[in-house]
């Protein structure tokens, strides 16, 4: 039902300050962002290192659903988002197991979601969502094309670039000996 943890969401009052901290100090790469006037908040997605992601959310007005959460504090972990390949199957599974959920919504093929309340998930607001991970990444960290692997010749070996299941890429450098050894292992596996 769950493919992976997609991101952890941090609710803050100062979204620009938090964004600067995570990009300038910790090297996060900004991705997609938007504001939702209906719910009174804005959000920004960031990638770090191996494409671990986090989201910063902030209220845009006094009617925001975040006001209660931020009451008496400047920020904190708001929720965890888990990616599913099939939100309908996830809903059926939760119903079969008697796990209550709320906030089911579909935004075309772009994003489908539901939430499990913290009282039903050991103190954590859980968002389960169906989406294409690459849609939320900055172009600079997406893998070009549709292939799963690319190989680039380097002076002393090769760099393998693999499509990361969370979107984007993971890279590995192999010296000439390691590359030949990998080829032998692949030949054995395919024989």
Reported as a single tens digit per residue, the pLDDT across 101-154 is: 999 999 998 999 999 999 999 999 999 999 988 888 777 777 666 667 889 999
Q: What is the pLDDT of residue 162?
A: 81
96 and 148 inside one domain = no
**Count of structural domains within the chain:** 2
Q: What is the pLDDT of residue 126?
A: 98
Q: What is the pLDDT of residue 169?
A: 72
Q: What is the pLDDT of residue 137?
A: 78
CA 161 – CA 179 distance, rounded (Å): 13
128 and 150 inside one domain = no
Q: What is the pLDDT of residue 88?
A: 97
71 and 94 inside one domain = yes
Least confident of 95-99, 103-107, 145-149, 171-175: 145-149
Q: What is the pLDDT of residue 73?
A: 92
The two structure tokens encoding residue 110? 């772009």
83 and 154 inside one domain = no
53 and 132 inside one domain = yes
Q: What is the pLDDT of residue 143?
A: 65
Tell me the residue range of the domain where 112 lies: 4-136
Residue 83 has pLDDT above 90, yes or no: yes
Q: Where are the alpha helices (DSSP H) in the chain?
A: 15-20, 66-70, 87-97, 176-190
110 and 172 inside one domain = no
Q: What is the pLDDT of residue 76?
A: 95
131 and 151 inside one domain = no
Reported as a single tens digit per residue, the pLDDT across 28-45 is: 999 899 999 999 999 999
103 and 35 inside one domain = yes
74 and 149 inside one domain = no
Reported as a single tens digit per residue, the pLDDT across 57-81 is: 999 988 899 999 999 999 999 999 9
C-alpha radius of gyration, the chain, whole number:
20
First to last CA, the chain: 33
Where residue 129 sits, what CATH number does that domain have? Answer: 3.10.180.10
Q: What is the pLDDT of residue 144?
A: 67
* pTM (global) more than 0.85: no
11 and 37 inside one domain = yes
Q: What is the pLDDT of residue 98?
A: 97
How would you write 106-156 as a 3-class SS string? EECCCEEEEEECHHHCCCCCEEEEECCHHHHCCHHHCCCCCCCEEEEEECC
100 and 33 inside one domain = yes
121 and 170 inside one domain = no
């Amino acid at each position: 039902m769950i493919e992976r943890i997609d991101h952890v969401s941090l609710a803050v009052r100062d979204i620009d300050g938090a964004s600067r901290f995570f990009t300038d100090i910790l090297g996060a790469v900004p991705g997609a962002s938007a504001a939702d006037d209906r719910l009174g908040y804005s959000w920004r997605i960031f990638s770090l290192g191996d494409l671990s992601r986090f989201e910063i959310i902030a209220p845009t007005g006094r009617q925001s659903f975040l006001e209660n959460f931020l009451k008496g504090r400047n920020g904190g972990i708001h929720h965890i988002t888990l990616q599913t390949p099939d939100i309908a199957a996830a809903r059926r599974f939760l119903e079969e197991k008697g796990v209550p959920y709320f906030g089911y919504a579909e935004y075309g093929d772009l994003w489908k979601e539901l939430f499990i309340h913290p009282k039903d998930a050991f103190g954590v607001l859980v968002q389960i969502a169906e989406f294409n991970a690459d849609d939320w990444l900055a172009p600079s960290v997406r893998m070009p094309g549709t292939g799963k692997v690319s190989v680039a010749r380097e002076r002393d070996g090769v760099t393998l670039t693999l499509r990361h299941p969370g979107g984007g890429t993971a890279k590995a450098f192999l010296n000439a000996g390691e590359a030949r050894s990998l080829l032998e292992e692949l030949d054995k596996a395919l024989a």
